[in-house]
Structure 1
Amino acid sequence: DQMKSNFHLSLVQELVLDNCRTGEGKIEGITEEFSNLELLSLINVGLTSVADIPKLDKLKKLELSDNRISGGLEVLAERLVNLTHLNLSGNKFKDISTLEPLKKLPQLKSLDLFNCEVTNLADYRESIFKLLPQLTYLDGYDIDDCEASDSDGEGDGIEDEDEEGEGERCFHSQ
């Protein structure tokens, strides 16, 4: 019977556990048996560490907003080799150097760091794009400040109505 239940885990492609509090601030109950997982959302679960994230080769999107993570991203580079979207908004990242391990995620296209202290640094955007040349979008905008189209950057769809230069939105052809 154990075999059977594990097989079901391998069928799961999206797992959303937002607002489910973790015990010691660690990822719990997610194992390598979720082998086909493509999206994992752990928003506001009280995480301080991602050390216990399993190896998930198919994972593309990881949502970790509103936790208390401040570093230790090396494990993501080791275990989530195909990650394309990473949302770390509302965490405790203060220094560019804590984001350096993300260099080793070759597919990473979109990174969100809203409401992290690191965004207050003087050359924040420039520094991140330099550090992570594979990145297309940072906080929903590309290096030329063009907004991500919904399919690309997973924007929240909120439009500023009275923005100047309204025709300026860029859409990159795929």
Structure 2
Amino acid sequence: FDPLVRKIPWRRNRQPTPVRELVLDNCKSNDGKIEGLTAEFVNLEFLSLINVGLISVSNLPKLPKLKKLELSDNRICGGLDMLAEKLPNLTHLNLSGNKLKDISTLEPLKKLECLKSLDLFNCEVTNLNDYRESVFKLLPQLTYLDGYDREDREAPDSDAEVDGVDEEEDDEEDEDKEEDEDGEEEEFDDEEDDDEDEDVEGEEDEDEVSGEVSAPLGCPAFLS
């Protein structure tokens, strides 16, 4: 399959900028692996693997800059130990719609020191008594659980950071466009200058030719 890359900006005569957002939703995994997803994506900050049939996160590549990981609607029931090793800077994790039943299965997330937001919608663990209190106690670094903080205040728009990335890329593209336009204007000006020089030279040549053939009034013209 061809991975759906959300946005890979290209520049004229340049290499593409590093991929920072990658969406592979509904691309079925093969033995827990996603074809094409490798550690070469070292600059990846956002990765979406919704409904890809994952039963484990053990085969995820090491992505040191990843901040947001979408794993909803898979079949993960545990084995979250590898996340801290492979995704040390993760801040947002969505495990909604997986087969997580016990609070203890979330204990490995304690090692994700940067984790601020965790979503567990439609997981059996959410049906436990004192679910929210227990998760916040287990993961003191957590700010938001299922979109709300400890005081039930709603989290800000989760897409704001992604939008910021897009705006930055758009600014880069605008700068490139302006550079290209400036280059075209300079080239056009040079062509105009060349044309003017040619016109002046042409007029001078005509004057010289005219001077050789003509003679002052009243004087006979002699041609050899």
Q: TM-score range by the shorter chain?
A: 0.7 to 0.9
* Structure 1 unmatched ranges of 5 or more: 1-7, 155-174
Go from structure 1 to structure 2 and tell me whether the alpha carbon gap of 1:152 and 1:141 turns closer, same or farther (over 3 Å shift): farther
- Structure 2: which amino acid aligns with 1:80? L
Greater shift after overlay, 42-51 or 21-30?
21-30
In structure 1, the partner of 2:130 is 123
Q: Distance in 2 between matches of 1:129 and 1:28?
A: 35
Alignment match, 1:65? 72
Cα distance between partner residues in 1 of 2:103 and 2:55? 18
Q: Shift in Å at residue 149 of structure 1?
A: 1.3
Distance of 2:146 and 2:123 partners within structure 1: 11
Tell me how many residue pairs correspond in the alignment: 147
- TM-score with structure 2 setting the length: 0.62
Higher relative helix content: 2
Q: Deviations over 1:21-54 (max 9, x none)?
A: 1122434432111000000000011111111111
Please report the RMSD computed on the Cα atoms of aligned residues, expressed in angstroms.
Answer: 1.9
Pick from 121, 140, 150: which aligns with 1:133?
A: 140
The structure whose RCO (Cα within 8 Å, separation 6+) is larger is 1
Poorly superposed stretches of 4+, deviation over 3 Å: 25-28, 151-154
The question of whether the paired residues in 2 share the 8 Å contact of 1:27 and 1:50 is answered with no
1:21 aligns with 2:17: no
Q: Which residue of 1 aligns with 2:45?
A: 38
Identity of aligned residues (%): 78
The alignment's TM-score, normalised by the length of structure 1, stands at: 0.80
Unaligned runs of 5+ in 2: 1-14, 162-224
Q: Which one-letter code corresponds to 2:107 in the other structure?
A: E
- State the SS of the aligned residue for 1:150: coil
Shift of 1:69: 0.3
